[in-house]
Amino acid sequence: MSDLLAVGSKAPLFTAAASDGKTYSLADVLKAKRVALVFYPGNDTPG
Amino acid sequence: MAKFQRAGIQPFGVNPAGVKSHASYVQKLHFNFPLLSDPDRAIARGYHALKDDGKGIQRSVYVVQRDGTVAFAQRGAPPVEEIVAHAS
């Protein structure tokens, strides 16, 4: 497994559909706020 | 998750499941932040959150500063307080 991205490095930009029916672009959200990204396994797995 | 918002941080969950699956999950757990759908795992790959098999997701948390740089990165599911403290 590779290491996490280093603090201070450039975060990869993306655009993705979300559960609230909207599509979010990281660059757009960052214009207003900092962003936390929480990566987690399948919706019903404890992993 | 209000703690995130108070700290001026917009939280997102990220998972390969489809948007429909996400919506029911959000309802079930009463999440009040959006879950992003990452069906091709491109976001997870970009953020090094994929397991060695290239499929499984490694629990990981990031905070991204408004200038687009990484402010906080940790494996697992650290408490919100810790994330906010490190990202401030």
pLDDT in tens, A12-39: 999 999 988 999 999 999 999 999 999 9
Judged by CB atoms closer than 8 Å, whether chains meet at A24 and B34 is answered as yes
Confidence of residue A47 (pLDDT cuts 50, 70, 90): very low
Phi, psi of B45 (to 5 degrees): -65, -45
Give the CATH number of the domain where residue B44 resides: 3.40.30.10
Question: What is the domain count for chain B?
Answer: 1
| pLDDT score recorded for residue B28 | 65
| pLDDT score recorded for residue A13 | 98
Parent domain of B42: 2-87
Judged by CB atoms closer than 8 Å, whether chains meet at B77 and A40 is answered as yes
> What is the mean pLDDT of each successive set of 10 residues along chain B, which is 88 residues long?
84 83 65 85 96 91 96 90 80
Residues 15-54 on B with a CB inside 8 Å of A are 15-17, 19, 21-23, 25-26, 31, 34-38, 42-44, 46-52
ipTM of the complex: 0.88
Rounded CA-CA distance B7/B82 in Å is 12
B contacts of A16 (beta carbons < 8 Å): 14, 36-38, 43
B68's CB contacts (< 8 A; 6+ apart) are A10, A11, A13, A27, A30
- For residue A16, the SS3 value is strand
Judged by CB atoms closer than 8 Å, whether chains meet at B66 and A12 is answered as no
Query: Which amino acid appears at position B45 of this protein?
Result: R
Task: State yes or no: pLDDT of A46 exceeds 60.
Answer: no
A27: left (phi over 0), alpha (psi -120 to 50) or beta: alpha
